[in-house]
Amino acid sequence: MGIPEDLARSWLQVALKEARIGWDDGGIPVGSVIGDPRTGKVIAQGHNQRVQQGDPTAHGEMSAIRNAGRRRDWSELVLVTTLSPCPMCAGTAVLLGFREVVIGENRTFQGSEDWLREAGISVTVLNDIACTTLMERMQTERPDLWAEDIGT
């Protein structure tokens, strides 16, 4: 991991708060943050809004990236997300040229981490128990919604 672990974990807490906002709204509890290691600050954050916006592309990572807007410095920023990124979100990280992605957990869903690594992106999985617990609750209590979101 290129950034200090305590910074990564503090950004993950912000992402987890986003995930919980989405869950409380009846949505899918995945949250994401775009952090700038040059300042330690969060540039943008967001959560999955498939249900709330009726938008199948509104995963947590995508929402955070939309909130970050048009930029040219993605390679200097870090994408932090509560769940292993799906093919759409991994592909987006590759397109934009992120060099570092931090993942809360990949036990409940194994995304396209290989695409990230093949593109030379540093990938760190923090195995955060709170992220896992929230996703387990999602998969138990809203299984149809989860299947719809992840394309199965």
Residues that bind a second copy (CB under 8 A): 50, 54-57, 62, 65-66, 68-72, 74, 86-92, 94-97, 112, 115, 148, 150-151
Phi, psi of 81 (to 5 degrees): -145, 145
C-alpha dihedral, 133 to 135 to 138 to 141, nearest 10°: -40
Shortest Cβ 142–a second copy spacing (Å): 14
Which residues, listed in sequence order, are joined to residue 32 by a DSSP beta bridge?
A: 46, 81
Assess contact for 63 and 86: CB atoms under 8 A.
Answer: no
Closer residue to a second copy, CB minimum distance, 4 or 87: 87
Shortest Cβ 55–a second copy spacing (Å): 5
Helix (DSSP H) and strand (DSSP E) numbers for the chain: 7, 5
Rounded CA-CA distance 1/89 in Å is 20
Closer residue to a second copy, CB minimum distance, 102 or 116: 116
The full length of the chain comes to: 152
Active site members: 61
Shortest Cβ 9–a second copy spacing (Å): 27
Closer residue to a second copy, CB minimum distance, 57 or 133: 57
